[in-house]
Amino acid sequence: MATTYTRIKNRRGLKIDLPQPLADGEIGLATDTREVYIGAGTQDLLNADVQVTPFLNAQSEVTDDLSNGTSSSTNNGILNFNIAGTEVLNPGSNVALAHNTTHFGLPTGHPKRSGGLTESDLVITKFINGIPTTYDPTQYTLTFDSTKTHINFTGANIPEVGSKLLVSKWTKEQITEHVRARAGWSTSNSVASYHKWQYGNLTTNQVFCDITTGTGFVQFVTAPEKAALLTANVNDAISTINEPSTYSFLGENSAIHPTSRPIAIDSNLKVDLDTPQQAFNISRFINKKRGNVSRVASNIEIFTEASYPRYQTNQYVSHMQTATLTASGNGTLIEYPTAESNVYKIDYSLKLGSNFRTGTIHITTDGTNTVINDIQVETGATSDVTFSAAISSSKLQFNYANANSSNANLSYKIERWLQA
């Protein structure tokens, strides 16, 4: 009897297209980075966490991205928002909206405030132990007592005792449209600003909505864009909108997620959020800003010979960086807290005129004193370019001086760690 062999293939593709999260037990191969992940399923609290892959200054750079640390008035900042009229209700077979009983439970500006509300106009999410499941509109019906709206569940669709129901009165499409209108982005796909609100386009999209909590955030890239987004409109879906230092959507619905806190990345490079959709949105935003460096934490990474860990908690390895060393100038190339790193190895190359130089610089500091050693070879005279190290405000600075009348082009890669 002939033996039949069946080939089993796992999910594969570009890392940017990796499902967030993978299904329970599903294996995903990122063909571009040769990384392998296995999913822990959709009903996993880690689905609400984002894990950032280590890169140079990862914690401080992602912190800046999520808190508008250096960009709150110009570009690449974010504004957090919540949605008008969102309610959290106790479970039952017949649940009444309580927000505005004279207008069917709907907020100002809603197109169905005068009647005509249907099941698909609401987004209802059930939370059990913090884990969300969104109802399909076919799983409940609406009835009306004058201008009061009742949500009716039957059979297996009746929410369990101890659960909570979050009801959003606006759809994702409506919310996105209201953000678009505030910002003044075009509705014509031939205009560049049209792509700023197209959620499927990772590289250009600026709107991130979590309908399961009635929250979200929007990226602004200019000061006028920021000002337009902050201009209130009582008739749209957006209620509160502000910078992260003033408003965080975490803990917005205290009956479900009681801990109000800023959006932050910890020393393990993990961002703790309230829901999987928030985690998915934050991961997309970080990847947009920093490259493909984050994932929903329930996708468990399997290390291979091509993706082994390249760092420890106190060790950092950078990618290749470049800089122009200004003619007859000087400046600081990098600086890091001495409490974070006190040993440095910098591999570099530079070109000055037609001459090339390559070398390795070693730096160490005790927090007060610094020692630097530059071992190099060159094809011709490049001695007009020198490097030095200094301590300033508890940070080690790596400085350059260029005494030549021509710019020099520098490429360098840093390894640094903390020697206890």
Nearest CA to 42 out of 348, 245, 299, 254 is that of: 299
pTM higher than the cut 0.85:
no
The number of folded domains in the chain is 3
Nearest CA to 231 out of 195, 192, 181, 196 is that of: 181
Contact 257, 60 (CB under 8 A): no
Same-domain check for residues 228 and 346? no
Token pair 């990345």: residue: 265
**Boundary-marking domain end, from 280, 302, 324:** 302
Contact 388, 372 (CB under 8 A): yes
Is residue 6 situated within a structural domain? no
Is residue 286 situated within a structural domain? yes
Token pair 């860990």: residue: 309
Please tell me the distance from the alpha carbon of residue 101 to that of residue 236, in angstroms, as a whole number.
Answer: 19
Same-domain check for residues 105 and 65? no
Same-domain check for residues 339 and 355? yes
User: 49 is in which domain, residue-wise?
Assistant: 45-83+173-302
Is residue 3 situated within a structural domain? no
Same-domain check for residues 388 and 245? no
- How does pLDDT run along the chain (420 residues), one tens digit per residue? 678 878 888 888 888 788 877 888 889 988 877 888 888 766 667 788 999 988 777 888 899 899 887 655 566 789 999 999 999 999 999 999 988 889 999 999 999 999 999 999 999 999 998 889 999 999 999 999 999 999 999 999 999 999 999 999 999 999 999 999 999 999 999 999 999 999 888 789 999 999 999 999 999 988 899 999 999 999 999 999 999 999 999 999 999 998 899 999 988 889 999 999 999 999 999 998 888 889 888 788 887 766 654 444 455 666 688 899 999 999 999 888 898 889 999 999 999 999 999 999 999 999 999 999 999 999 999 999 999 999 999 999 999 999 999 999 999 999 888 888
**Boundary-marking domain end, from 105, 139, 169:** 169
Please tell me the distance from the alpha carbon of residue 280 to that of residue 20, in angstroms, as a whole number.
Answer: 6
Question: What CATH number is attached to the domain comprising 392?
Answer: 2.60.40.1680
Is residue 403 situated within a structural domain? yes
**Residue 199: is it exposed, middle or buried by C-beta count within 10 angstroms (0-12/13-18/19+)?**
middle
User: Dihedral of CA 364/370/375/379: which sign?
Assistant: positive
Please tell me the distance from the alpha carbon of residue 118 to that of residue 52, in angstroms, as a whole number.
Answer: 41
Please tell me the distance from the alpha carbon of residue 271 to that of residue 279, in angstroms, as a whole number.
Answer: 8
Same-domain check for residues 54 and 179? yes
For 159, other C-beta atoms within 10 Å of its C-beta total 23
Please tell me the distance from the alpha carbon of residue 295 to that of residue 306, in angstroms, as a whole number.
Answer: 18
Same-domain check for residues 297 and 351? no
Same-domain check for residues 123 and 66? no
Same-domain check for residues 182 and 262? yes
**Residue 210: is it exposed, middle or buried by C-beta count within 10 angstroms (0-12/13-18/19+)?**
buried
Same-domain check for residues 189 and 296? yes
**Boundary-marking domain end, from 169, 185, 210:** 169
Is residue 393 situated within a structural domain? yes
Please tell me the distance from the alpha carbon of residue 249 to that of residue 80, in angstroms, as a whole number.
Answer: 7
What pLDDT, on a 0 to 100 scale, did the predictor assign at position 310? 46
Q: What are the φ and ψ backbone dihedral angles of 65, each rounded to 5 degrees?
A: -65, -40
The strand pairing partners of 59, in sequence order, are none
Please tell me the distance from the alpha carbon of residue 343 to that of residue 292, in angstroms, as a whole number.
Answer: 28
